[in-house]
Structure 1
Amino acid sequence: MSGTFSGLNTARTALWAQQRAMDVTGQNIANMNTVGYSRQRAELQSLGGTAVPATYAVNNNVGEGVSAEKVSRIRDAFLESRAQLEQATTASMTVADTTYSQIEDAFREPGDTGIQAQLSDMWAAWGDVHDNSTNPGPRSEVLERTQTLVSGIRTTRAALDQQWGGNYDGLKTLVQDVNATASSIADLNESIRRATINGLPSNELADKRDALVLQLSQQIGATSAPADDGRITVSVGGATLVSGGSALKLQLVGSSDPDDLATDPPRVVTDPVGTLVRPGGTAEGQLTAMTSTIPQYRNAIDSLAKNLATELNAAHQAGYDQDGVQGVALLDDGAGDPTKITAANLTLAITDGRKLAASTLSPAAAGGSASGDSTNADAIYQLSLSTTGTDASYRKMIVGLGVQASTATNRLSAQSVISSQVDASRESVSGVNLDEEMSNLLQYQHAYAAAGKLVSAVNDMLDTLINMVR
């Protein structure tokens, strides 16, 4: 009798285990398109008989069926850690590539509206004055084209300042998002701990937590490590951001004015301790853009404005205008001071074409105030041909920008391939394969049917036995 009823119990556990395995398979199929979901697997384990001998009896049953109590998440810890690192690197390089692309847009090169074209137009206008210095038309053209160049330089500087401010605002918002995400991870840590202690399922909670950690990796270069009770520890730049159920807050400090970069640069610190954090991911890319990349080209455009003003003013002050007056500074800072020029305040100081000093002859040498001499205009035009002048320096800078932008794009392309390969490998392990799940479903279905046959067989045996003893 004990053997017969033992067989019935074995069939019961088989029915329950196969049903649970089919439920897990159905959960996988239902979430095959759910972002961040990790496929699950019912861990089937055989149940043996007691291993403790009785005093006057020996249990010689072959086993007590099967158990499917445990449902595992299929994950590869190494690939998860690798994905976090690669996602952070890709995010940082993406910001770098975008930064160089925006800088190229600010300079508008090559193109008819770029500074190079505007420089060429201005020099050409001086050449026209040299050909016909007494005609007011070419003189007006010099002023118009110089004003266009000044406006182009100021526009480029304004675009760079706007780009810098956009990165600052973006990083400030990013830090707020990081704090919210870290708090959510800490809450999930506690929920998973409680579920683990009480023997409740927590796989879906772990999926949500891992998705948030991967998001933090992209945003700020976070990495995770397993801790006790199913919890994880999240670190950023050597600082522990999440430990158990508590999360450390970060904040962006530093001046929002790019001119204060040398004294008070933007940086990410812990709140309230103020310990410096060296982030990765998008935050690293934005900090690099604000502290290195954009300032490099802000300084370059400022140097262009200063060098242009120095060259033009020196050449212009060496000549005389149509009224026989020695030339004055052609460009200044808007307040009459040529020594404080930047790309942001560069201003055309002359508005009257007669004041253009196209002549190198003084009134006495010219024999009158309205001399037709235009050799100084030609001297100014010759500045464009210098191999060390403003034009040459600007072309060199633009070539360097193009090389850096191309390098950033190529690095991002290579990194994207690596990141995609890691993601594909991770997905091959934890992702849901519909063909595999359908195969499992058929396997569990046949096992369930076989267990049902076992129940029928045991039922027939019991029926036969009962009828025999009537």
Structure 2
Amino acid sequence: MSLTAALDSARASLMASGIQSSTISRNIAGASTAGYSRKIAVLDNLPNAGVYVAAIQRAASGGLFTNVLTATSASAKQSAIYDGLQKIATSTVDDPELEQSPTAQLTKLKQALQQYANSTDNATLAQAAVASAKDMATALNQATKTVQSVREGADADMVTSVANINQLLTQFDKVNTAIVRGTITCDDVTDYLDQRDSIVSKLSQEVGVSMSLRANGDAALYTDSGVVLFDKTARTVSFTATNVYTPGTTGNAVYIDGVPVTGANSVMPLKTGKLAGLAELRDNATVTYQSQLDEVARGLIDAFKEVDQSGAALPDVPGLFTYPGAPAMPASATISVGLAGTISVAASVDPAAGGNPNLLRDGAISGNAAYNYNTTGNAGFSARLQQLINEMDAPQPFDTTAQGKPSGSVIEFASSSASWIESQRKAADDSVQYQNTLLDRSTAALSNVNGVNMDDEMSLMLQVERTYSASSKIISTVDEMLQSLLAAVGN
């Protein structure tokens, strides 16, 4: 090898070592930065030119990254559902000491009626029974408000989620364009690739997403149901909020490029992600629980209805518990949407409204004497109270779409409703725990591939320093040889 070739080779080695050293320093600086992937200086050789840095690549695994995206989206969906169910369960069925659940209130009402039946001439017990009935109605009213509040909150969170998605897609567009341009001009785009992966990771929290790579580093994004989120340009995600929710309110669908991805009319519904979880909570779980509350209210009105005692075959009418549709009775075994929010105790029996609590014992709460059970006005009359107690335990049919006990007493149905919401909450919690564990493991596996190990970087730095020192030594030696050669020629 000529001295010139040796000098060129050593010079190339120094330049490569400099780039390697810079890359290692870059890794060390980015080690604690979220989303940073380890960078690698790829070396190659050219004949008679020595070593050179052919490219800067980053450590990455498409398969592991996909696993992280999938686990992130699944966890976000279940977390959204669990958080909503937790609020409902905490307010309507938790804390037995407070006896706030419909089942607890029904049990208290039954006990109050029994005490009144044992001493029908006791005005205090009559008032206590009516007060217990009012607590029952209030519990159903408040439970309805809680459920609709959770639906309103989910709808508002969907607005935020959609805004986040659109913002992330805009960011993705800019970074993806920079990657394509940099790839075409052979620039180092590894930092842009990190940024793009970070954007997709954030996007996966909002919606289930997959990324498809194409020529020149270009990428396309799709939802987990196959709807295009980004292909050359970002698709518009739109949603119109519903600010006030009542039991009969149907929330609006989310659209991606005009295609509905949530709601009953969606042919390609989102499967995972926070947005899917919020839609599931708003449109399904809460609606089902509201239906159960409405069936408890209907069951109460039916159990306490008054039947014609005159023989005139008059229709049954609401008694202790009434609603805006009175004097008609709610249809049997049919959900009356929103009934739990409007059920109340008849004013005619409520002392606070100037009513007579003894009508609970005697009947004719509706104001029609044909429904009077105590025709003799006997203060010791208890047959009607015993009948009401028995009716609370008597089986009746319930709407099967409410997903509670299809046939049983109103107390049994209320108990099945409490069990349903608890099972839904537990299932969501179990799924969150599982998905979080899966996410942790997937993230750790990806980190093992693309993360920065400080020990490895320092070891590599020592190797580069040795190579740099050896190349410098070669240059120094060649320089001395050239100086000696020049001196010999000069002499």
* TM-score class normalised by the smaller sequence: 0.7 to 0.9
Q: Does 1:4 align with 2:14?
A: no
Q: Does 1:23 align with 2:17?
A: no
Could you say which residue in structure 2 is the equivalent of 1:247? 234
**Residue 121 of structure 1 contacts residue 145 of structure 1 at CA under 8 Å; is this kept in 2?**
yes
**Residue 154 of structure 2 contacts residue 278 of structure 2 at CA under 8 Å; is this kept in 1?**
yes
- 2: distance between equivalents of 1:305 and 1:292? 20
Task: Kindly report which structure 2 residues correspond to 1:275-424, keeping only aligned pairs within 5 A, or say none.
Answer: 276=266, 277-279=268-270, 280-314=272-306, 329-334=319-324, 336-337=326-327, 339=329, 342-349=339-346, 350-351=349-350, 352-359=355-362, 368-386=376-394, 388-424=408-444
**Residue 334 of structure 1 contacts residue 347 of structure 1 at CA under 8 Å; is this kept in 2?**
no
Structure 2 residues not aligned, in runs of 5+: 311-315, 331-335, 396-407
Residue deviations 1:309-337, cap 9 Å, x none?
1101247x769xxxxxx997212124744
- 2: distance between equivalents of 1:293 and 1:170? 16
Could you say which residue in structure 2 is the equivalent of 1:115? 102
Residue deviations 1:211-239, cap 9 Å, x none?
11111112111110112221211111212
Could you say which residue in structure 2 is the equivalent of 1:177? 164
Q: Does 1:127 align with 2:114?
A: yes
Could you say which residue in structure 1 is the equivalent of 2:130? 143
- 2: distance between equivalents of 1:376 and 1:173? 55
- 1: distance between equivalents of 2:241 and 2:381? 56
Q: Does 1:453 align with 2:453?
A: no
- 1: distance between equivalents of 2:259 and 2:386? 64
Could you say which residue in structure 1 is the equivalent of 2:401? none
Q: TM-score, normalised by structure 2?
A: 0.84
Q: TM-score, normalised by structure 1?
A: 0.88
CA, structure 1 residues 128+68, in 2 after alignment: closer, same or farther (shift >3 Å)? same
**Residue 327 of structure 1 contacts residue 357 of structure 1 at CA under 8 Å; is this kept in 2?**
no
CA, structure 1 residues 327+198, in 2 after alignment: closer, same or farther (shift >3 Å)? closer
Residue deviations 1:257-308, cap 9 Å, x none?
46456xx553221345768552231111111112211111010001101111
Q: Does 1:428 align with 2:448?
A: yes
**Residue 360 of structure 1 contacts residue 376 of structure 1 at CA under 8 Å; is this kept in 2?**
yes
Residue deviations 1:176-224, cap 9 Å, x none?
2111111110111111222222232221111111111111112111110
Residue deviations 1:363-384, cap 9 Å, x none?
9997853532112112222344
CA, structure 1 residues 367+390, in 2 after alignment: closer, same or farther (shift >3 Å)? closer
The range that moved more, 404-413 or 209-218, is 404-413
Could you say which residue in structure 2 is the equivalent of 1:54? none
Task: Kindly report which structure 2 residues correspond to 1:23-42, keeping only aligned pairs within 5 A, or say none.
Answer: 23-42=22-41
The range that moved more, 198-207 or 66-75, is 198-207
Q: CA deviation at 1:399?
A: 1.8
- 1: distance between equivalents of 2:375 and 2:418? 46
Sequence identity percentage: 19
CA, structure 1 residues 367+191, in 2 after alignment: closer, same or farther (shift >3 Å)? closer
CA, structure 1 residues 114+440, in 2 after alignment: closer, same or farther (shift >3 Å)? same
- State the SS of the aligned residue for 2:420: helix
Match of 1:211 among 198, 217, 231: 198
**Residue 161 of structure 1 contacts residue 258 of structure 1 at CA under 8 Å; is this kept in 2?**
yes
Structure 1 residues not aligned, in runs of 5+: 49-62, 320-325
- 1: distance between equivalents of 2:26 and 2:345? 72
- State the SS of the aligned residue for 1:266: coil
- 2: distance between equivalents of 1:327 and 1:247? 60
Could you say which residue in structure 2 is the equivalent of 1:60? none
Q: Does 1:227 align with 2:214?
A: yes
- 1: distance between equivalents of 2:282 and 2:66? 29
- State the SS of the aligned residue for 2:342: coil
Tell me the number of residue pairs that the alignment of Structure 1 and Structure 2 aligns: 445
- 1: distance between equivalents of 2:214 and 2:374? 91
Match of 1:187 among 171, 174, 180: 174
- State the SS of the aligned residue for 1:41: strand
Q: CA deviation at 1:73?
A: 1.0
- 1: distance between equivalents of 2:345 and 2:125? 17
- 2: distance between equivalents of 1:365 and 1:409? 51
Could you say which residue in structure 1 is the equivalent of 2:256? 270
Q: Which amino acid aligns with 1:371?
A: A
- 2: distance between equivalents of 1:367 and 1:192? 89
- State the SS of the aligned residue for 1:33: coil
Residue deviations 1:339-383, cap 9 Å, x none?
466011111113124442324899999785353211211222234
